[in-house]
Amino acid sequence: MAKKNEEFVTHITSRDEDFSRWYTDVIMQTDLVDYSDVKGCMVIKPYGYAIWELIQKELDARFKATGHKNAYFPLLIPESLLKKEEEHVEGFAPEVAWVTMGGNEVLAERLAIRPTSETIICSMYSKWVQSYRDLPLLLNQWCNVVRWEKSTRPFLRTSEFLWQEGHTVHATEEDAQNETMKMLGVYEEFAYNVLAIPVVTGQKSEKEKFAGAERTYTMEALMQDGKALQMGTSHNLGQHFAKVYDIKFLDKDGQLKYAYQTSWGVSTRMIGGIIMVHGDERGLMLPPKIAPIQVMVLPIAQHKEGVIEKAQELCDILIAKGLRVELDDRDTVSAGFKFNECELKGIPVRIEIGPRDIENGVCIVVRRDTLEKQTIELTNIGEEIDKILAEVHNGILKKATEMRDSKTFLAKDYSEFKDAIENKKGFVKAMWCGETECELQIKEETGATTRCMPFEQENLGNVCVHCGKPAKKMVYYAKAY
């Protein structure tokens, strides 16, 4: 006899009690990842990888729609090649992993395992770009990169991670800037419409920008513990790399010119963001569009005649609608266990169907985000589920937006600023003089960094919140992952 337990039970640490522990509990118990024997590297298990595959699919469709093609460049980069762009090397030097041996022989020149591929891609682009007719060159690659991190956390910071990096070449500065903004726009649209995560977009400060970029743009999301996470970046590289790697083309006017470039990327870190934005006390909450299983069908009292058959029939109808559906027909665990497991794993919708329902021609549909149960007629179940999945998406986006807004504060002076960072925790909007020195001091004193200078500027005052000098920009500050 199953225990009639009205209280829902969870086996994960409370979010409020220890957010970091909660995060670890969720990713380990939901079968997303496992720790490997390699320091700082995670194993992405099938359930976690399926999420990444869906992210890839959604993004690829967007990249293709904006004229980009996929390619693949080598994992290993000769030291000499990597070292050409000074600012770039300086930025990445501390975290590059090196290959020094080939078989039993010491290599004459060490090979870097790519921390990012600008250098190797630019070295190829210099061969490929000769004429204005070759431009724009719009490529993307899906790959792994390695950065030797001192402290790591699954998805958020691992020594090796998966990402996509777009690298484009343009004839004019204007084209490059347009591309930079366009791709940030693609990421932003993706964040809202696929991940259901509200973001703040804007430009990075000099201190925070990508090593070797002219300008870096970013989208920043806020996690439930009030820390910010950079979810994607888009860089206008200007002619920095073109000059170093000699990417020149003959323009319409017969002049030989250096090309303008961009690069942009998002990584498996996004999955960490999804967990920390949407997750709750019961575990994961996956946005329907990237949920490997959108609907789990649970037969109740499945040993009784006709139940499994009816549940399978229901599955088939939904699969035919193009939904990702699974039937949990295990007879080794109780129904209650399955309910909890569905919630833990963040499956957006589950359907319970048992003898009583079959008799009445209905099923019970439960939304993961609200845990609301509704009785739905089997006759038009396909349309209803579509509708409910859309409602779940909108519901979690709304909730996440409210969460972000409730954790976004204004600071007119430095005491307000410190109070907001230390006690309230979240985004803090404040005016800034534009000096790196000020940023450094603020970080030293509060732990907060500038996240971005948002495109949507507001005038909160005329002076810098820290030094009191004339203010140039409104900035989002936060402690960040």
**Neighbouring C-beta atoms of residue 147, cutoff 10 Å:** 20
| Pair of tokens at residue 472 | 């140039």
Asked if 310 is part of the footprint of RNA (rule: CB under 7 A), the reply reads: no
Asked if 23 is part of the footprint of RNA (rule: CB under 7 A), the reply reads: no
| Selected binder of RNA within 30, 177, 201, 268 (CB under 7 A) | 268
| Selected binder of RNA within 48, 238, 354, 395 (CB under 7 A) | 354
| Selected binder of RNA within 117, 123, 126, 152 (CB under 7 A) | 152
**CB contact at 8 A, 344 and 30:** yes
Alpha-carbon distance 285 to 435, whole Å?
40
Asked if 425 is part of the footprint of RNA (rule: CB under 7 A), the reply reads: no
Asked if 235 is part of the footprint of RNA (rule: CB under 7 A), the reply reads: no
Asked if 334 is part of the footprint of RNA (rule: CB under 7 A), the reply reads: yes
**CB contact at 8 A, 123 and 245:** yes
Radius of gyration of the chain (CA): 25
> In sequence order, which residues have a C-beta less than 8 Å from that of residue 468 and are 6 or more positions away?
none
Asked if 19 is part of the footprint of RNA (rule: CB under 7 A), the reply reads: no
- Angle of CA points 153, 155, 161, to nearest 5°: 105
> In sequence order, which residues have a C-beta less than 8 Å from that of residue 259 and are 6 or more positions away?
125, 129, 135, 169, 170, 171, 239, 242, 247, 248, 249
- Contact segment (CB under 7 A) with RNA among 136-144, 267-275, 450-458, 470-478 equals 267-275
Q: Which is nearer to RNA, 129 or 200 (CB)?
A: 200
| Residues across the chain | 481
Furthest-apart CA atoms within the chain: distance in Å: 85
Strands in 69-70's sheet, in edge-to-edge order, are 69-70, 137-146, 160-170, 260-267, 228-238, 215-222, 200-203, 449-454, 473-478, 427-432, 408-410
- Contact segment (CB under 7 A) with RNA among 236-244, 265-273, 317-325, 454-462 equals 265-273
Nearest CA to 455 out of 180, 262, 211 is that of 180
Asked if 259 is part of the footprint of RNA (rule: CB under 7 A), the reply reads: no
Asked if 65 is part of the footprint of RNA (rule: CB under 7 A), the reply reads: no
Asked if 76 is part of the footprint of RNA (rule: CB under 7 A), the reply reads: no
* 158: helix, strand or coil: coil
Return the residues of window 443-462 that contact RNA according to CB under 7 A. 443-444, 447
User: Per DSSP, which regions of 49-124 are E strands?
Assistant: 69-70, 76-78, 97-102, 105-113
- Contact segment (CB under 7 A) with RNA among 1-9, 57-65, 193-201, 390-398 equals 1-9
Asked if 400 is part of the footprint of RNA (rule: CB under 7 A), the reply reads: no
Asked if 256 is part of the footprint of RNA (rule: CB under 7 A), the reply reads: no
- The interface mask with RNA, positions 191-210, x = CB under 7 A, is -------------------x
Asked if 433 is part of the footprint of RNA (rule: CB under 7 A), the reply reads: no
| Selected binder of RNA within 129, 200, 237, 353 (CB under 7 A) | 353
Alpha-carbon distance 101 to 76, whole Å?
12
| Selected binder of RNA within 27, 156, 392, 430 (CB under 7 A) | 156
| Selected binder of RNA within 126, 263, 340, 450 (CB under 7 A) | 340
* 108: helix, strand or coil: strand
CA atoms within 13 A on the CB side of 340: 15
Asked if 378 is part of the footprint of RNA (rule: CB under 7 A), the reply reads: no
Q: Output the smallest distance, CB 295 to RNA, in A.
A: 15
Q: Which is nearer to RNA, 151 or 459 (CB)?
A: 151
Q: Which is nearer to RNA, 40 or 136 (CB)?
A: 40
Instruction: Give contact residues for RNA (rule: CB under 7 A).
Output: 1-6, 8-12, 20, 39, 91, 94-95, 147, 149-153, 155-159, 161, 210, 230, 233, 267-269, 282, 300-303, 331, 333-337, 339-341, 343-344, 352-357, 364, 366, 371, 373, 443-444, 447, 480-481
